[in-house]
Structures are given as structure tokens and as C-alpha cells.
Amino acid sequence: MSTLETAPPENRPEKPRQARLNDEAREIAEQFRQSSISQVLLVGAVRFFDVAAIVLTSLGAYAVLHQGALSAPWTYVVATLAATVLTLIFAQAADAYHVVAFRVFGGQLGRMLGAWTLTFAGFAVVGSFLDFGGAVERRWLGLWFVLGALAFLISRLVLTALVRRWAADGRLGRKAVIVGGGEPAGELIRALESTPGNDVHICGVFDDRSNDRSPAIVAGYPKLGTVAELVEFGRVARIDLLIVTIPVSAAGRVREILKTLWVLPVDIRLSAHTDKLRYRPRAYSYVGSIPMVELAEKPIANWDFVIKRAFDLIVGTLALIVLAPLMIATAIAIKLDSPGPVFFRQKRYGFNNEVIDVFKFRSLRHEMADPDAKTVVTKNDSRVTKVGRFIRKTSIDELPQLFNVLKGELSLVGPRPHAVNAHTSETLWNDVVDGYFARHKVKPGVTGWAQINGWRGEVDTSDKLKRRIDHDLYYIENWSILFDAMILIKTPFALAKTDNAY
């Protein structure tokens, strides 16, 4: 077996998992562990339910007046579409779709009823000038208005209760960590807390400097550890935002911090609130009213995440149905070929470096199974069964991972999930490639950009591993749903090349 080339010990990147959290930091991280609710998705969901309420109450009003009929003339359809568009426009103009407004029942209900009333007032004005010849019934309009108002009343009661609960739990908004302590961090925290409608919840402060240079408490928030420890804290607490308060002029220190933190699937911003150096306004993004310079963005977030998940569920379900006969035949062949279970579970790294159980068809002899991946499978490996050799070469052994996709642990397309102890010659892979864990900023996939470009099978040199990681990072930085579709289409052709698959 070939040995894996490694860098000298003094040049190896620091492994994120080696930095242990102190008890206080771990306790705080566990308190924030629940995933945040995206404000973008929340507002989108509210708009969707408003549209549904308008359409359903329109149908309901027509059905009440026409003995349960649901097939209305085209004029009613046009009126419903017009009301939907106008209500959304008026509601947007009244700031009804703002998360701050969702917390106050009276205010948001007033905005929505105002928008709804303006829509029907518009119908009345148009109807007074133009003769529609009874295209729609006035009593239908009246009943629809009442039903719609009741629907908004109920939906806003539910929404207010949910938003208040999520806010109390710290889930509604972005969980943030301040990187860099002292007075600059204190100024930033005070500025954020005084900003109306601020959605940032500060979890704590991390700084490499000692307490004499960086106080243990900053504006009421504890300093929880060093930047290296922040990587582990970020994974446990599932934070959304890192705000670096170190001046832009300290470029070297900022660069070193980014080298450590870029493996996290979070937005990273450099605060510019105390910097004398000013960029053009377009160079800034804002957290509340605080100007920030974007250093890194969370990949596949908000609606991109929803689209990708929907794609996984729809295509994954169809693939499972189509491939069911092949999977059944494979299970029978494995059972007839050698004693032992059909399926095999192996612990691998998933999204955000979480450990998951990945399903595969068993390809090794049961008594020689290697769930911890302590020994890499090589060419002519005696542990591989006859059926196992075929399903490994054709990647049929990976098909049970479709169940992981439906569970939400894997995506159809993404960086391949590596075994927790993946190594060669006792060298863990995260010791070989700088920033190895950055590939876990998105969900791993059943197939990926690296695989269709020939980087599958045995990894026996550092160059092979680096090429895989380079392709994984390219995929993360250039993701689109069309990119996923293209990779899926090319996957069967890439699997025909079995040179490196043992």
C-alpha cells in the first residue's frame, strides 16, 4: 500500500477539533444550539400564506353563494388575481412584511386590514366609473372581504405567538460572535443593542489576547476563549455571524484569523464602525446601522437552501423508486454471496463537521467489516467479496445513501462524506490539506464535482486528496441548482471509469 505524503510537523495546519472549549463556553454554546429561523424565509412564508388566504377565501365565498361550486367564471379569477397583487403591494408599502412588525399583533393586523380595505376600496372606485355589466357579484365581494379579514385576523394571532416564542428562545435572528475584544468590541456591542429592529443576538466574545490587553467582560458579555476555540464553539452553537472588530490596518492579524475561521458555514463581517479608512458606500453591507465589510458568506443559505432541499426530496424520491429493482437485486446478491447483513453503516463527517451514520451496501466480508475506516480498501483487497468488488466499481454500494438524502443528512450533490478516521499510514486527512474542514460548510453529497472529474476511489497520495478538496471548494463557491443537475446527469458516465475504484 502506498504511503501518504505529509507536510513537516511545523507546517501542518491546526486541526479545528483539537481546541477544547472551557466549561462556561460549552454551556453557553449548548444554550444556543437550536438552529436559527431565517428572517428571509419567515417573511417569504408569511407572504405565501397571505396569498393562500386570499385565494382560498375567494373560493370559499363563491362556494357559499353557489351551493358548493368551486369552478368560477374567468372574471372571478381575474378579480382574485388583482386582489392578490394589490394587497401584497399595499401591505409591502405599509411595512407589514417586516419581522419587527410581526411581534406586535395590533400593529401588523392593522397594516394587513388596511391593505385589504384599500384593495376593495379600489374595486369600488373602479366599479363606480366603469360598468362591468355584473361581471362579479357585489355580495360575493362583500362576503370575500369579511372572510379575508377573518383569515388575516387568525393568521396574525398565530404568527404573533410563534414569533414571540422564537424570539424568547433566541431562534429568531442571527446568532453572532464578536472576534476581538477591548473597547472596539464594546463600542460595536453598544451600537448594535441601540439599533431599532436589530436582529443580532450576541453569544459572546473571543480574543487571543490575555485579560490585561482584552478584558474578560466586554459590555456585559464574557470573553469565552481564543479564536481557535471559536471554531468548536461555532459548530456547537450553530452561529450565523462572525463580526471581526480588529482594525482593517491590522491586515496580517485579520488574515490569520480568517485562515482559522473560514471553515465555518457562517457569514463573516469586518466591522468598519471605528475605522478611519472608508470605502465607497457600495463596498459596505450593514448589520442594523453598523457598516460592515463582507469577508465571507454562508454558502447555500435562505431560499437557495430551500430550493436545494426541495430538489433533493423530489429527485431523491424519484431515484429511489426507479432504482428500487436494482437495489433489491443487489441485496439478494449480497445475501447469497456471503453471510452477514445487507447494509453497512459508517460514521462520516456531515454538514458543519457533525458525525452522521452513512448507509451503504455491504461490500466487505462481515467478519472483516471496518466501520471506523481504520484500513483503506486497496486494489485486490482480500476483504472485498465477489459481489462487493462489482458494486464498489460501479458505485452501486452507494445507493442506500438515498435514504440519508431523504432524512436530510446528505444532499444528492455535494462533497463526498469522508470517514471520520479517513487516513493512510496513520495520517488523518485533515492533517494533510490546509482548510480541509471547509468542505463541510455544505451538506455532503451522494455524488459530487470531484467524482465526475475522476477523483474517486483510493486516496494514496496527498496530491489526490488536495485535488478532491480543490474540486469540493470550487463546487461550494459556484453552486447553483443547474450545476447540481449537470453533475447528476454526468454521474452515470463518470462511473463508467472504474480505474481508481476498488
Mind listing the pLDDT tens digit for each residue in 138-150? Answer: 889 999 999 999 9
Nearest to 301 by CA among 366, 370, 252, 240: 240
Q: Are residues 225 and 148 in the same domain?
A: no
| pLDDT score of 180 | 85
> Terminus-to-terminus CA distance in the chain, angstroms?
13
Q: Is 480 helix (H, G, I), strand (E, B) or coil?
A: coil
Which of 139, 168, 197 represents a domain boundary (last residue)? Answer: 168
Confidence at residue 446, expressed as pLDDT on a 0 to 100 scale: 92
The answer to whether residues 502 and 377 touch, using CB atoms and an 8 Å cutoff, is yes
pLDDT at 99: 83
* Selection from 388, 385, 414 nearest residue 401 by Cα: 414
Q: Is residue 448 domain-resident?
A: yes
Q: Please give the model's pTM, rounded to 2 decimal places.
A: 0.78
What is the helix (H) or strand (E) element at residue 390, kind and residue range? helix 386-393
Q: Which of 235, 262, 296 is the last residue of a domain?
A: 296
Report residue 90 CA to chain centroid gap: 32
143 domain residue, yes or no: yes
Task: Output the nine-digit C-alpha cell for 423.
Answer: 487516513
Range of the domain at 29: 9-36+173-296
Instruction: State whether 275 and 385 are in the same domain.
Output: no
185 and 149, same structural domain? no
- State the pLDDT at residue 1: 33
Are 357 and 442 part of one and the same domain? yes
Reported as half-sphere exposure (CB side, CA atoms, 13 A), residue 91 has a value of 23
Q: Could you tell me how many residues make up the chain?
A: 502
The cell for 122 is: 379600489
**Domain match, 425 and 288 both:** no
pLDDT at 457: 61
- Taking the C-alpha atoms of residue 169 and residue 478, their distance in angstroms, rounded to an integer, is 34
CA distance 336 to 269: 57
Asked if residue 501 belongs to a domain, the reply is no
Q: In this structure, is residue 1 part of a structural domain?
A: no
Cα separation of 332 and 327, whole Å?
Answer: 9
Phi/psi at 284 (5° precision): -100, 150
CATH of the domain at 205: 3.40.50.720
My answer on whether 17 and 52 are in the same domain is no
Chain Cα centroid distance, residue 416:
17
The last residue of one of the domains, among 247, 275, 296, is 296
Consecutive H or E run containing 356: strand 355-361
93 within some domain: yes
Q: Do 32 and 92 share a domain, yes or no?
A: no
pLDDT < 50 positions in the chain: 1-17, 276-277, 502
Report d(CA 114, CA 156) in Å as an integer. Answer: 14
* Spacing of C-alpha 252 from chain mean position: 30
The CA dihedral of 393, 416, 373, 331, to the nearest 10 degrees, is: -50
Which amino acid type is present at position 483?
F
Given this model, what pLDDT does residue 61 score?
93
383 and 270 both lie in a single domain? no
Contact call for residues 352 and 409 (beta carbons, < 8 A): no
Task: Report pLDDT for 89.
Answer: 95
Between CA 369 and CA 365 the distance in angstroms is 6
**239 CB contacts (<8 Å, ≥6 apart)?**
32, 175, 176, 177, 203, 233, 264, 266
Instruction: Assign 158 to helix, strand or coil.
Output: helix
- Residues 194, 280: one domain? yes
